[in-house]
Chains A and B, each alone.
Chain A
Amino acid sequence: MSRRSSLPSPTALRRRLAHPTSRVLADRSVLDSLISVAGLVGRTVRNPAGDEVGRMADVVVRWDGSPYPPVTGLLVRVGRRHSFVDMAQVAELSSSGARLRSARLDLSDFRHRDGEVAVASDVLDHQLVDVDGVRVVRASDLYLAPVGGQMRLVGADVGLQTLVRRLGPARWRTRPTPDRVIDWAAIQPFSGQSRNVRLARPNQDLQRLRPAELADLLEELGRSQRQELLASLQTDVAADVLEEMQSADLGAVLRDTTTNHAAALVAEMEPDEAVEALRHLDDQERLDLLAAMPPANAAELTELLTHQQGTAGSVMTSHLVMATSTDTVAGIQLRLRSELEHRADVDAVLVVDEHGVLVDDLQLFELFTGEPHAPVGDLIGEPWPLTVHVSTPLGEVVERFIDARGSSIVVVDDDNRPVGRILADDLVDALTPRRGRFRFPRLLR
Chain B
Amino acid sequence: MKPASSRPVHRRRWKFAALAGVLGPGLIAANAGNDAGGIATYASAGAQYGYRMLFVMVLVTVGLVVVQEMSARLGAYTGEGLVSLMREQFSLRVATFAVVCLVVANVGLVVSEFAGIGAAFELFGVSRYLAVPIAAVALWALVVFGSYRYAERLFLVLSLVFITYPIAAVLGHPHWHTVVSNAALPHFLGNHTFLFLVVALIGTTITPYMQLYQAAAVADRGIGVEDYPIERLDVISGSIFANVVSMCIIIATAATIGGTGPLGSAKEAAQALRPVVGRAAETLFGIGLLGASALAGAVVPLSTAYAISEAVGAERSVSRRFSEARLFVGLFTGQIVLGAAVALAPGNLIQLLINMQILNGLITPILLTFILILANRPAVLGDAANGPKFKLLATICVAAVGALAALVVIQTTAGWLGVL
Q: In whole Å, how far is A334's beta carbon from the nearest beta carbon of chain B?
A: 41
A440 vs B83: C-alpha distance in the bound complex, in angstroms? 15
Q: Is the CB of B78 within 8 A of A258?
A: no
Interface membership of chain B positions 1-25, coded 1 if the CB is closer than 8 angstroms to chain A and 0 otherwise: 1111111111011110100000000
Q: In whole Å, how far is B410's beta carbon from the nearest beta carbon of chain A?
A: 30
Q: Name which of B38-46, B47-55, B321-329 contacts chain A.
A: B321-329
Q: Which of A182-231 contact B (CB under 8 A)?
A: 193, 195, 197, 219-220, 222-224, 226-227
B6: contacting residue among A138, A227, A252, CB under 8 A: A227
In the complex, A280 has a CB within 8 A of chain B? yes
Residue in chain B with minimal CB distance to A226:
B79
Q: In whole Å, how far is A226's beta carbon from the nearest beta carbon of chain B?
A: 7
A4: contacting residue among B303, B319, B322, CB under 8 A: B319
Q: Is the CB of B15 within 8 A of A193?
A: no
Residue in chain B with minimal CB distance to A257:
B6
Residues of A within 8 A of B217 (CB): 441, 444
Q: Is the CB of A285 within 8 A of B13?
A: yes
A to B CB contacts below 8 Å, 18 in the list: A4-B319, A6-B317, A166-B92, A197-B6, A220-B316, A222-B1, A224-B79, A226-B79, A248-B222, A253-B222, A256-B6, A280-B15, A282-B17, A437-B146, A438-B320, A443-B299, A443-B302, A444-B303
Q: In whole Å, how far is B396's beta carbon from the nearest beta carbon of chain A?
A: 28
Q: Is the CB of B12 within 8 A of A284?
A: yes
A376 vs B306: C-alpha distance in the bound complex, in angstroms? 59
In the complex, A363 has a CB within 8 A of chain B? no
Residues of A within 8 A of B122 (CB): none
Q: Which of A395-445 contact B (CB under 8 A)?
A: 436-444
In the complex, A251 has a CB within 8 A of chain B? yes
Q: Is the CB of B15 within 8 A of A440?
A: no
A224: contacting residue among B3, B17, B149, B321, CB under 8 A: B3
Q: Knowing A258-B6, A288-B10 touch, does A167 contact B87 (C-beta < 8 A)?
A: no
Q: Is the CB of A438 within 8 A of B322?
A: yes
Q: Is the CB of B15 within 8 A of A285?
A: yes
Residues of A within 8 A of B299 (CB): 443-444
Q: Is the CB of A259 within 8 A of B216?
A: no
Interface membership of chain A positions 158-169, coded 1 if the CB is closer than 8 angstroms to chain B and 0 otherwise: 101001001100
Residues of B within 8 A of A438 (CB): 146, 318-322, 325
Residues of A within 8 A of B14 (CB): 255, 282
Residues of A within 8 A of B173 (CB): none
Interface membership of chain A positions 347-360, coded 1 if the CB is closer than 8 angstroms to chain B and 0 otherwise: 00000000000000
Interface membership of chain A positions 272-314, coded 1 if the CB is closer than 8 angstroms to chain B and 0 otherwise: 0000000011101100100010000000000000000000000
Majority secondary structure of chain B interface residues (helix, strand, loop or mixed): helix
Residue in chain A with minimal CB distance to B329:
A438
A382 vs B148: C-alpha distance in the bound complex, in angstroms? 50
Residues of A within 8 A of B313 (CB): 137-140, 158
In the complex, A236 has a CB within 8 A of chain B? no
A219 vs B220: C-alpha distance in the bound complex, in angstroms? 10
Residue in chain B with minimal CB distance to A160:
B312
Majority secondary structure of chain A interface residues (helix, strand, loop or mixed): helix
Residues of A within 8 A of B4 (CB): 223-224, 227, 256
B12: contacting residue among A167, A248, A280, A288, CB under 8 A: A288
Q: In whole Å, how far is A163's beta carbon from the nearest beta carbon of chain B?
A: 6
Q: In whole Å, how far is A183's beta carbon from the nearest beta carbon of chain B?
A: 17
Q: Is the CB of A284 within 8 A of B321?
A: no
In the complex, A249 has a CB within 8 A of chain B? yes
List of 4 A-B pairs having minimum Cβ-Cβ separation, nearest first: A252-B222, A223-B79, A138-B313, A282-B15
Q: Is the CB of B222 within 8 A of A255?
A: yes
In the complex, A135 has a CB within 8 A of chain B? yes
Q: Knowing that A138-B87, A223-B80, A438-B325 are A-B contacts, what are 17 other residue pairs whose CB atoms are under 8 Å apart, sorted by A's residue number?
A: A4-B320, A126-B88, A138-B313, A163-B312, A193-B2, A193-B379, A220-B315, A222-B78, A224-B4, A255-B227, A282-B15, A282-B17, A284-B12, A437-B146, A441-B217, A443-B299, A444-B28
In the complex, A136 has a CB within 8 A of chain B? yes
A257 vs B226: C-alpha distance in the bound complex, in angstroms? 11
B15: contacting residue among A126, A251, A292, CB under 8 A: A251
Q: In whole Å, how far is B112's beta carbon from the nearest beta carbon of chain A?
A: 19
In the complex, B333 has a CB within 8 A of chain A? no
A440 vs B321: C-alpha distance in the bound complex, in angstroms? 11
Most buried by A among B1, B13, B221, B303: B1
Residues of B within 8 A of A227 (CB): 4-6
Most buried by A among B6, B220, B313: B313
Q: Is the CB of A255 within 8 A of B5?
A: no
Q: Is the CB of B224 within 8 A of A256?
A: yes
Q: In whole Å, how far is B315's beta carbon from the nearest beta carbon of chain A?
A: 7
Residue in chain A with minimal CB distance to B332:
A440
A260 vs B148: C-alpha distance in the bound complex, in angstroms? 41
In the complex, B164 has a CB within 8 A of chain A? no
In the complex, A125 has a CB within 8 A of chain B? yes
Q: Is the CB of A163 within 8 A of B92?
A: yes
In the complex, B213 has a CB within 8 A of chain A? yes
Q: Which of A230-267 contact B (CB under 8 A)?
A: 248-249, 251-253, 255-261
Interface membership of chain B positions 343-368, coded 1 if the CB is closer than 8 angstroms to chain A and 0 otherwise: 00000000000000000000000000
A248 vs B217: C-alpha distance in the bound complex, in angstroms? 13
Residues of A within 8 A of B10 (CB): 259, 284, 288
Q: Is the CB of A224 within 8 A of B318?
A: no
Q: Is the CB of A436 within 8 A of B319?
A: yes
Q: Which of B135-174 contact A (CB under 8 A)?
A: 143, 146, 148-149, 152
A444 vs B303: C-alpha distance in the bound complex, in angstroms? 9
A38 vs B146: C-alpha distance in the bound complex, in angstroms? 40
Residues of B within 8 A of A166 (CB): 92
